[in-house]
Chain A
Amino acid sequence: MTSRHDVVIVGGGIVGCGAAFHLTRAGAKVLLVEQGDPNRRASGQNAGSMHFQLEHRLLEHGGERSAEFAQIIPLSLAAMEDWRGLEALLAADLEVVMHGGLMVAESDDDVALLEFKHAIESKWALPTSLLTGDEARRQATYLGPRVRAAGWCEHEGHANPRLVGPAYLRAALEQGLELATHTEVRGLERRGDEWHLRLATLDDAGHRVQEVTTRNVLNAAGAWMAEVARLAHLHLPVFAVPLQMNVTARSAPLIGHLVQHVSRRLSIKQVHDGNVLIGGGWPARFARDRDGGVDFAARPLPVAAHVRGNLGVAADVIPAVRELSWLRTWTGTVAVTSDQLPLLGEVPEAPGFFVAGGGSTFTLGPTCARLISRLILEGRSPLPIDLYSPARFSHINGFMASAG
């Protein structure tokens, strides 16, 4: 027996759960397939930053590339609005705070980079300003004397990533979403104008296999996006990147903003419960299996030197964190595209096959979920998203037999 759906979403992270919410709200018949528990991978494990200033990873490769990366700004502007309305939309406390963010500079080179960044942002109408070190310290008294200047964006902040995905999912379930957890997609094939998916659910009794058909597939599988696409004979240049993050024990209010660093890897904030989260894109490494091979599915392993490195930058910028307790370092695997811009749209070679994700997916998640849902339902997005379309990688799918 097969069941028919309007949309099958692959991936129960923030984008998949968010799209499930928007699609079911519009009355679509939707099945969400998640290989483990919902929101348990990068969507629930990231540090919850809402960062809109051009971040370190987009600036570190120099002028020309940075200008290309600025194409992400229109999405960022939309994301500010989405985040402001999200708690009301879902009628849930998501610990959203948008009290502004600082991107700090320590050296002459840093200050020059900050000025360069500010010029690009101004061109794209991202509301940021430049502060001197003293101005920054007046704004954020916890910043240490090494801070020479800072970029300021009043819309930045953070939310609790442990709550956002589940809130979307609860609302979607109330709206009639069908959910299949601990379920893997084993086959994905287009016949006529329908997609046929072969699903394997792992439970106590072993594998239960079922087939479902759908008009549309949304690949929101994060770090597993490329793998899912390959089942449909498609290549997506999305790469799994293992990262590590750190958290301190709860403490009295200390840090009132999102703080990032323009040239060193740092993102630091204090969350609602008082913990300080310290990350910034420090790599972990993939686990090894019993034979010494790489195990991409297992939880990545933390890199010792990167724990020290990350905590060290934090202590340089905000000296008071030295007295906090380093409680935990954890790892997760995020998805990054080859050009570091998100993937958002329909794959031209495979009508009805949509993709969403691939970079800054927490910050941009609610927006990606909303826009891709409109594209699926109405055939067009309310915001131009051609810049992020998978069409930019059509050249590598010229070799693939995706048309089926």
Chain B
Amino acid sequence: MTSPGAPAAVTGLAIVGGGPAGMAAARLAVDHGADVTVIDEQPRVGGQILRQPPRGVEVTDWLPGAVYRNVRRTLAEIENDPSVDWRLRSSAVALLPQGNGHGVELWLDTPEGLQAVHAQTVLLAPGCHEQPLHFPGWTLPGVMGAGALQSFVKSQQLVPGRRFVLSGSHPLQLVVAEQLLRAGAEIAAVAFTQRPWAGLRLLATPMVALRAHRQLSAAAAAMWHLRAAGVPVLFGHSVVRARGEESVSAAVVAPVDADGHPDLRRAREFECDRIGVCHGFRVSSELARQAGARVAWSTRRGGWLVAHDAWYRSSVDRLHVAGEITGMAGADAALEEGRIAALGALRQIGAIDAAGAEALAGPVRRRLARLHRFADVLTRLSAPPGNLAAHLADDETLLCRCENVSVASFDRAVDDNAFIVTADAAKLLTRAGMGLCQGRLCGEQVARRLERRRGLATGAAGALHVNLPVRPVRLGAAVGDED
């Protein structure tokens, strides 16, 4: 595609996303003789859970925790396999099913320009991104996702600030706070939106599940360590405002009730230069939606999840899915889903017969069922209060940070145009969701705010339509550069 008219590269199975699901699928598919291409935006595979240091940077005892054990084993089994066609630092920006069994064309935005890959079949395992919180000051430099802070530590070996406040509803923030603390940062406070009784509910879950759930036990250990270090861990609290002129200088933290309503009279300020928000994740199903795959909304399990059958086939021919985009369930479940999806894809291209696939899938399915039960415990525990964002945002808060659409201007447009009832129509009218992030950070809030003002049920406003490219591409790269 860099030279227009040049034929696309051909592969058997193209895997989008080199995280746990993609790596496990690649290993299994290569072992069955398939031609495999793996596409990932990062310079090294591993996904967000294993954001690796740059090549040339050596870290002794990197990510020693039990949480990382299985995914690290899979990484070691695949990363240096030369039989995989690795397409790193590449974004899959369009997915074009060719119909009638003719496979799928993928467009990749690479450092060498836009390139096409023609695959017999495609496995989408793009993972998820963090769910933001729209509160006053959330666009100020220094406010980041907790996972963003964590990946600076894990991958870049950087403590990305001096003094941190973490706030959210997901236990991950305990792990992040502890990793920052160990790396030399100060932690001013960790605030959970959940009331203290949510912790009691955690204790009421079967102890077997709790012990086996590596993420939860890691969070519990981190909490113990933070408290021992004198870090305040507050329950029933949320950051309600970021203060600062050019970047964060303080976090205002206040008690919130079960609906997410803050009690600002009891607010207090924590001096800090970074705020990490941690409200869980939204699945990256944009490419699947762009290709026309059927999705269903789940607030708790990660947003617009891609529907699939027992072999993780989506509703689009030759489009398989695995990992978080089928519902947030963590890295260990993603590994197993990647394996089943790979078996489904191998069946599709005739690299394995039905009986062979079934035999291999059996034990994987049993492990997966167990992991899904644990994941359910975690997602139930980490759900943020339903209306937190609606209660926190003030008139000047940016609803869409790309297009600078304030909450007040969005509400005014919605009120002035009573005939608008879908998120897509609200986007056309207000520009919220039209910018560079293509609605990933605001699309959900656009729908929720519209629904609240119209008195509609959650989900009634529908999803923002996803167009290609699913990430912006420099136009010169798209048409073929002369340079």
Contact = CB atoms under 8 A, between A and B. Distances in A.
Establish whether A and B are touching in the complex (CB under 8 Å). Answer: yes
Interface of A: 37-40, 44, 162-163, 166, 169-170, 173, 179, 181, 248-250, 273, 287-288, 292, 299, 301-302, 304, 307-308, 311-312, 314-315, 321-330
Interface stretch (B148-156, B220-228, B428-436): B428-436
A37 B422 contact: yes
| Residue among B105, B467, B468, B479 facing the most chain A CB atoms (10 A cut-off) | B479
A170 B436 contact: no
A178 to B, nearest CB: 12
Contacts of B292: 287
Nearest to B460: A204
A302 B468 CA distance: 8
B424 interface: yes
Contacts of A304: 94, 96, 105, 107, 116
Considering the complex of A and B, which 6 residue pairs feature the smallest CB-CB distances, nearest first? A322-B476, A325-B472, A37-B425, A328-B467, A326-B475, A312-B479
A288 B99 contact: yes
Interface in B436-483: 436, 438, 465, 467-469, 472-476, 478-481
B438 A325 contact: no
Contacts of B467: 302, 328-330
Contacts of A323: 474-476
Contacts of B435: 249-250, 327
Contacts of A181: 419, 421
Contacts of B428: 39-40, 44, 162
B1 interface: yes
Query: B interface, how many residues as a size bin?
Result: 35 or more
User: Which secondary structure dominates chain B's binding surface?
Assistant: loop
Given A37-B425, A162-B428, A302-B468, A170 B416 contact: yes
Main secondary structure of the interface of A (DSSP, over half): mixed
A37 B1 CA distance: 38
Given A169-B419, A312-B4, A327-B436, A249 B431 contact: no
A248 B260 CA distance: 38
B209 interface: no
Given A327-B434, A327-B472, 13 more contacts: A166-B419, A170-B417, A250-B435, A292-B99, A302-B468, A308-B1, A308-B4, A308-B479, A312-B479, A327-B436, A328-B434, A328-B438, A328-B469
B80 interface: no
Contacts of A287: 292
A195 B319 CA distance: 49
Contacts of B480: 312
A324 B465 CA distance: 23
A249 B436 contact: yes
15 contacts: A37-B425, A44-B428, A162-B428, A169-B417, A170-B417, A273-B431, A288-B99, A304-B96, A304-B105, A304-B107, A308-B478, A326-B469, A326-B478, A327-B436, A327-B472
Contacts of B107: 304
Contacts of B416: 170
B202 interface: no
Contacts of B100: 292
Nearest to A167: B417
B420 interface: yes
A321 B481 CA distance: 12
Contacts of A248: 475
A326 B475 CA distance: 5
A57 B417 CA distance: 35
Contacts of B429: 162-163, 166
A398 to B, nearest CB: 40
Contact of A315 (B94, B431, B465, B476): B476
Contacts of A329: 467-469
B419 A325 contact: no
Nearest to A182: B421
Interface in B396-431: 403, 416-417, 419-422, 424-425, 428-429, 431
Contact of B475 (A38, A179, A301, A315): A315
Nearest to B93: A326
A329 B475 CA distance: 12
A330 B116 CA distance: 20
A307 B4 CA distance: 12
B475 A324 contact: yes
A326 B419 contact: no
Nearest to B469: A326
